[in-house]
Structure 1
Amino acid sequence: METVTINTPKQSLNNVTIGEGVKIFDFVNAYGCTIGDGSKVGAFVEIQKGVTIGRNCKISSHTFICEGVHIADRVFVGHGVMFTNDLFPRATRPDGQPQTADDWQLVETHIEEGVSIGSNATIICGITIGAHAMIGAGAVVTKDIPPYGVAIGNPARVIKTINPE
């Protein structure tokens, strides 16, 4: 498996703004997004337009990051994490015609600095995961998680708070 390593200041490839020292593994589908300095993106990841990924993040393989997701610096995203951006997705309008971009409302999600998201978690749109929070593997996050909170389960619930020190 090959990787693309960007060692020069800010480059653009496929309308993606790529920071210095970024590593992108094979089979990544990224378009119209921004990936910050020193971040790593694993194989089989999709990053859609308008996504921002901060510096020194690790996005593990098989993850889907859709339009409207904003990830701050030093965030870990485990394998197979799924983000959403529509609270009421439909394939068609009430008249049976296929939906277009005008038929739905983008709902943004914010992942703050230092968050860790376990493998196979699902992040429902419209929430904020606070700085340094931890999301357990397989969790389904449906509401805001406070800074330093540890959340597990479906739906995810905060079970404790990590000592910031």
Structure 2
Amino acid sequence: MAVSDSVVLGAGVRVLKPDLVNLYGCTIGDETRIGPFVEIQAGATVGARCKIQSHCFICEGVRIGDEVFVGHGVMFTNDLWPRATDDEGHLLGADDWSLKATVIGNKASIGSGAVLLPVRIGEGALVAAGAVVTRDVADFAIVAGNPARIIGDVRKRRPNSTGRS
């Protein structure tokens, strides 16, 4: 695994274990941090000042905004009809499927172990750990479960950012 020469890295990007990642053909914004055992595929973009925790898979077609947190083991998908073969049993190739995009709004947070189908996650939204997101998530919504459902609004539940009461 490695950081390919085809990766566009912004200023101050930190790849914590460059020998333990697989980054190729993607764009990473300024001051973003990427943990070990992360794969980011060609055509994916990660904004500025993001934190991508270990063991994440960010596939082609994913666009992550600025200041986004992606927890450990988050999996993105880009195909709504995944198949290995066609009706006659022939292996499918690169031209035999339709790429579906996933867009993550600025300041969103994706909890550890979440799985995201091709969806839009709104600005400031919070996806709970382990959620399976099958539908778009509104700005500032909190979603949890399988399938993920709205359980709140971050503007009403956010703890004091200083940690003091």
1:128 counterpart = 2:120 = yes
- Cα RMSD of the aligned pairs, angstroms, is 1.6
Which residue does the alignment assign to 1:103? 96
Structure 2: stretches of 5+ with no match in the other structure: 159-165
Q: Would you tell me which structure has more strand in proportion to its own residues?
A: 1
Structure 1 residue 97: deviation in Å?
Answer: 1.3
Q: Are the counterparts in 2 of residues 14 and 30 from structure 1 also a CA contact under 8 Å?
A: no
TM-score, normalising length: structure 1: 0.90
2:150 to 131, 135, 158: 158
Q: 2:4, 2:23 within 8 Å by CA — same for their partners in 1?
A: no
4, 8, 30: which one pairs with 1:17? 8
Report the Cα distance in structure 1 between the residues aligned to 2:98 and 2:145, rounded to whole angstroms.
27
Counterpart position of 1:73? 66
Match of 1:38 among 23, 31, 44: 31
* Shift >2 Å, 4+ stretches: none
In 2, Cα distance between equivalents of 1:24 and 1:94: 42
Q: How many equivalent pairs are there?
A: 154
CA contact (8 A) 1:59 1:78 kept: yes
Q: Which residue of 2 aligns with 1:9?
A: none
TM-score by length of 2: 0.90
How far residue 153 of structure 1 moved from its aligned partner, in angstroms, is 0.3
Which one is further off, 87-96 or 105-114? 87-96
Deviations 1:64-91 (A, max 9, x none): 0000000000000000000000001011
Structure 2 Cα separation of the partners of residues 101 and 13 of structure 1: 21
Structure 1 residue 93, shift from structure 2 partner: 1.6
For residues 28 and 154 of structure 2, the distance between their equivalents in structure 1, rounded to whole angstroms, comes to 28
Q: Which residue is equivalent to 1:146?
A: 138
Whichever residue aligns with residue 147 of structure 1, its letter is D
Q: Secondary structure of 2:95's match?
A: helix
- State the identity as a percent: 53
CA contact (8 A) 1:116 1:134 kept: yes
> Is there any run of 5+ residues in structure 1 with no aligned partner, and where?
5-11
Deviations 1:33-77 (A, max 9, x none): 000000001000000010010000000000000000000000000
